[in-house]
Structure 1
Amino acid sequence: MDFLMELAQYGAKHFHLTLFRYVLAASVMSICAGWLFRTWMHRRRIQKRRAEWKDIRREVSFSMLTVCIFTVIGTIISLLEKMGLTKLYWQWGDYPMWWNIASLPVLILLHDAYFYWTHRGMHHPKIFKHFHRLHHLSRTPTPWTAYSFSVGEAALNGLFSPLIILMIPMHPTIWLSFVFIMIFRNAMLHTGCEFHPRNWVDGPLDNMTTTTHHDLHHQRFQGNYGFYFTWWDRWMGTEFKDYKLAFRRAVDGTLSDASQEKTADARTNLSQGGSANMPA
């Protein structure tokens, strides 16, 4: 009974934390785009099409399923920690200061690589409909799309956490910071409005993805797989060649009809259960 009570406590803690960060990030991005900066963000919309309430209801419903799956994974991590199998350390002095500072960027770099390759893999025609098709029902994503996954995709995304915690030493504060950065960036990439300044893609910051970068992926499916950074797409030749043009059009408020036509083609393919013939 003591074990079951402890298990329930772990589950409740991880459920509340996961739900809190999802609702917080999606709400903040929705409020910024739809209320606080409504006029400015309206001019920076990436697609002409608007998500409907039925889309948001579907996204929230499946995000709740993802929250439950992430809760199970979080509970497993807590059990592993109790057994002394994780690399978490609770005293900052246990590791050098340089590692305390560097561990967060290292986590982000590793997650970016993990995300790119698992994301691209889920677009393979043989597994797309089983793992990733549900997420792409959000053709015009919203911040609530962030956790709208199938069971398989949620489990695959969540697997990163125990793998890293078992292998890399980190302070729990670093891990908590990472998961909040991850969900806020996730919600931002699905907002449907471009936050970044026009010259973003003309300098060194171009190595970081933008909302347009990911929105094009939702429109066309077979490219722009990166999460934090653009370099994997560029190294692997999977970035859309007109990405920067689409970014500037979004910032300038001049949507491209050609882009909308490509979106329509991809939409037809999705309705047939395909993945836009994406090469693995």
Structure 2
Amino acid sequence: MEFFWELAADWTVNFRQGLFRYLLATVSTGVLLGWLFRRWAAPRRIQERRAGWRDIRRELSFSMLTLAVFATTGVITLILADWGLVKLYHRWDSYPLWWHLASLPVVILLHDAYFYWTHRAMHHPKLFRHFHRVHHLSRTPTPWTAYSFSIGEAALMALFSPLIMMLLPLHVLVWLVFLFVMIFRNAMLHAGYEFHPRGWVDGPLDFMTTTTHHDLHHQQFRGNYGFYFTWWDRWMGTEFNNYKEEFRRAAGAGTPVAGAKQGDASAMT
């Protein structure tokens, strides 16, 4: 019985930590755009339509479900750690300095690839309804959309954590930083306002996705599957042809995006 109480305690800790990160990212993004910098943000709205309170309540409800799935995965990861299968470590002298510096970019690159291919797979007609439909109920996303998943999608997204920790040795602080990067990036991509300067898509950092990049995905469902980077979409022909045009519109004059033109439709599955 004591074992199950310990599992319940670990689950509660994992849930609270996940909830803290989620609320920190979503609330701070909402406060910045809706209050502190609302005059700057107003002309940068990507869609004319606004999400209603019913949409936000739904997103919050499913996000709590997602956090429960994440907490369960966290408990499973702790069990795997007890079995010696997880390579998470605490001492900085366990690995050389170059690995401490390189491990975070490596995890982000691997997560981007994992996200692209699982995300694209969930858009397959036989999988979409069971995995990804809930997330796309948010046609006009908000920061709260970040974790609005079905149980199946939440489990698939959570699976990356134990897999990567079994594959790579990672310092606990590096992993914690990754978790914060992931949720803040997620909230930003669903914010509904374009954060980046107008020249972003014509500069050297064009390989990084923008809010417009992901917002177009929510409008059209297929295409623009990437999370951190645009590489996979461009390599696989799944980026919208008029993405840069729509980005400039959102980041410049602020004309609402009416729609998006897809690239090769045969590739967008």
TM-score range, shorter chain: over 0.9
Q: Is residue 209–residue 229 contact of structure 1 (8 Å, CA) maintained in 2?
A: yes
Write the deviation string for residues 76-105 of structure 1: whole angstroms up to 9, x where unpaired. 111111222211111111111100110000
Q: TM-score, normalised by structure 2?
A: 0.96
Deviation at 1:254, TM superposition (A): 3.7
Count of residues in Structure 1 that have an aligned counterpart in Structure 2: 266
Deviation at 1:48, TM superposition (A): 0.5
Unaligned 5+ residue runs, structure 2? none
Q: Any idea what SS the aligned residue of 2:206 has?
A: helix
Separation in structure 2 between the aligned mates of residue 161 and residue 211 of structure 1, nearest angstrom:
24
Q: Is residue 80–residue 86 contact of structure 1 (8 Å, CA) maintained in 2?
A: yes
Aligned equivalent of 1:166 = 166
Q: Any idea what SS the aligned residue of 1:260 has?
A: coil
Task: Please tell me the root mean square deviation across aligned C-alpha atoms, in Å.
Answer: 1.5
Confirm whether residue 141 of structure 1 aligns to residue 174 of structure 2: no
Q: Is residue 123–residue 278 contact of structure 1 (8 Å, CA) maintained in 2?
A: no
Separation in structure 1 between the aligned mates of residue 154 and residue 165 of structure 2, nearest angstrom:
18
Which residue of 255, 258, 269 corresponds with 1:260? 258
Write the deviation string for residues 123-154 of structure 1: whole angstroms up to 9, x where unpaired. 11111111111100100000000000001000
Q: How does 1:89-168 map to 2 (within 5 A)?
A: 89-168=89-168
Confirm whether residue 232 of structure 1 aligns to residue 228 of structure 2: no
Q: Is residue 189–residue 210 contact of structure 2 (8 Å, CA) maintained in 1?
A: yes
Aligned-residue sequence identity (percent) comes to 65
Deviation at 1:171, TM superposition (A): 0.5
Separation in structure 2 between the aligned mates of residue 142 and residue 27 of structure 1, nearest angstrom:
11
Q: Is residue 222–residue 277 contact of structure 1 (8 Å, CA) maintained in 2?
A: no
Specify the code of the residue in structure 2 equivalent to 1:224. Answer: N
Q: Is residue 138–residue 218 contact of structure 2 (8 Å, CA) maintained in 1?
A: yes
Write the deviation string for residues 25-51 of structure 1: whole angstroms up to 9, x where unpaired. 000111111001001101100000111
Separation in structure 2 between the aligned mates of residue 251 and residue 199 of structure 1, nearest angstrom:
9
Specify the code of the residue in structure 1 equivalent to 2:222. Answer: Q
Q: TM-score, normalised by structure 1?
A: 0.92
Q: Could you tell which deviates more after superposition, 118-127 or 247-256?
A: 247-256
Confirm whether residue 79 of structure 1 aligns to residue 79 of structure 2: yes
Q: Is residue 30–residue 143 contact of structure 2 (8 Å, CA) maintained in 1?
A: yes
Flag the 1:200–1:110 CA change in 2: closer, same or farther, 3 A. Answer: same
Aligned equivalent of 1:178 = 178
Deviation at 1:199, TM superposition (A): 1.0
Q: Any idea what SS the aligned residue of 1:229 has?
A: coil
Aligned equivalent of 1:208 = 208
Separation in structure 1 between the aligned mates of residue 135 and residue 4 of structure 2, nearest angstrom:
34
Specify the code of the residue in structure 2 equivalent to 1:19. Answer: L
Specify the code of the residue in structure 2 equivalent to 1:56. Answer: I
Q: Is residue 56–residue 144 contact of structure 2 (8 Å, CA) maintained in 1?
A: yes
Q: Could you tell which deviates more after superposition, 74-83 or 170-179?
A: 74-83
Separation in structure 1 between the aligned mates of residue 268 and residue 25 of structure 2, nearest angstrom:
33
Superposed structure 1 runs of 4+ greater than 4 Å apart: 276-279
